[in-house]
Each structure stands twice: as structure tokens, then as C-alpha cells.
Amino acid sequence: MLCSEIREILAEEVEVQCRKEALDSLMCRRAKLLRESLGERMRRAQDDGEWSHLSQQECAGLHKEEKLYLQSQIDRLRHEQARTKERLAELRRLKTRAKLIRAAEVASQRKRH
């Protein structure tokens, strides 16, 4: 029974680690966009065919809205990162505890025989 629990913990640990890496990547991309200046954003928008019909004031307004939205996304991602980090630490503690219990069971079985 304990071996199957350890396997389940290991599988969940891998899953949570992948989630953590995905969140880290997403945070990095969002932070890069947040640091983008208005001029850089206008050039990128023109390259993509966006904002071509807008004045510089309108572009500045949209850029400001985008930055506010990105900041709210980053705040949510930070919260999710913290939760994921806590879950990963909890899984590692459970794995260590399960391995210690399993080792103690094996040792006690050896003593009996």
C-alpha cells in the first residue's frame, strides 16, 4: 500500500513541477511585455497590422490599459506561483515521510525473519 502512495506522490510532484515551470515561463513573458515602452509597443503593433488607424494618444491609452491588465495578470500569477510552490514543498515532505515509513517497515520485517 505504501509503495503505491509513494508512486502517487511522485506522479503528483512531477505534475506540480511542470505547472510551476509553465507558470514561471508565463510570468517571464508577461513581465517582458510589462516592461515594453510605448514606442516599442507601437512598432510591434504596426508590424502586426494593429493600431495603424489610431493616433498616438489613442495608442498611449491602449498601452496604458494593456499595462494595467498585464499587472493584474502578473499579480494573479504570483499568487498561483506561491500556491504551487507550497504544494510542491508539501508533496516533497510527504514523499520523504512515506520513504522513511517504508524504510522502517522493511527494517522491522527483516528483524522478524
The tally of domains found in the chain comes to 1
pTM of the model: 0.77
Q: Residue 46 sits in which domain range?
A: 2-112
CB burial of residue 91 (10 Å; 0-12, 13-18, 19+): buried
According to the model, what pLDDT value does residue 65 have? 97
Q: Please write the tens of the pLDDT for every residue from 40-73.
A: 999 999 898 888 889 999 999 999 999 999 999 9
- Per DSSP, the three-state class of 83 is helix
DSSP 52: T
* Percent of the chain predicted with pLDDT > 90: 70
